[in-house]
Amino acid sequence: MDQSRTVPRNGSATLPILASAADLSADALALHRALSELIRVYQFRDRDRICCYDVSVAQCYALEAVVLHGPLTLNELAAYLFLDKSTASRLVDALEKKGYVERRENPEDRRALSLEATESGRVLHARIEGDILAQEAELLAEFSPEVRQSMARLVGELARAAASRVDTTGGSCCAVS
């Protein structure tokens, strides 16, 4: 349901009226609640699916990043996952012990190591992704192609906008007074 309003301009053309502060606050609250519910449901769904493969959700995200965007340095992985370097290092340690990633000498910077997925890591990622995508396809089958494409586009735009506002330099929590 489109609740945008327009005002006439030069006879026939119309211009949208900018949202009032109250409209913007109400929209922000509605979006926050909808996303919170979606994220909560997906987190539990992902946890229940991914734990069957003997990795945590965080380890799965790290493996996915290395498979799709690797080889990566530890700093690049930490920034991609919005984690501090020590947390990312612990994830990599666990994945390395399980044989899913390996650290290799970085040919561009001998002081750094490159993180690369092993063959078993790539196979595991493909199995998990296939399992989750089958669930997504089942869910999306209820929607028209236009709605499915719009959802993917809008959620992608929202994710990019939100990511651009996240501090990836290891910032600290703010104190609420």
Q: Is residue 83 part of a domain?
A: yes
pLDDT in tens, 4-40: 455 455 555 555 656 677 888 888 899 899 999 998 9
Evaluate whether residue 34 is within a structural domain: no
Q: Is residue 107 part of a domain?
A: yes
Q: Is residue 129 part of a domain?
A: yes
Number of other residues whose CB lies within 10 A of the CB of residue 161: 9
CA-based nearest residue to 125, from 80, 63, 72: 63
27: which 2 tokens?
Answer: 């929209």
* CA-closest candidate to residue 121, choices 89, 105, 104, 99: 99
How far is it, in rounded angstroms, from Cα 157 to Cα 120?
33
Number of domains in the chain: 1
What gap in Å lies between CA 95 and CA 89, rounded to an integer?
Answer: 10
Average pLDDT of the segment spanning 129-157: 92
CATH of the domain at 150: 1.10.10.10
Q: What is the pTM of this model?
A: 0.74
Residue-number span of the structural domain to which 91 is assigned: 54-157
2 part of a folded domain: no
Q: At residue 177, does pLDDT exceed 80?
A: no
- Tell me which residue has tokens 């006439």: 8
CA neighbours closer than 13 Å in the CB half-sphere of residue 34: 7
Average pLDDT value for residue range 158-176 = 72
Inter-residue contact 114 to 104 (CB < 8 Å)? yes
Identify whether 48 is part of a domain: no
* 5 in a structural domain: no
128 phi and psi angles, rounded to 5 deg: -65, -45
pLDDT, one tens digit per residue, over 42-95 is: 888 888 888 889 899 999 999 999 999 989 999 999 999 999 999 999 999 999
* Position 106 confidence tier, pLDDT thresholds 50, 70, 90: confident
- Per the DSSP assignment, residues forming a β-bridge with 81 are none
Beta-carbon-side half-sphere exposure of residue 146 (alpha carbons within 13 Å):
0
Residue 92 class from Cβ within 10 Å (0-12 exposed, 13-18 middle, 19+ buried)?
A: buried
Q: Is residue 15 part of a domain?
A: no
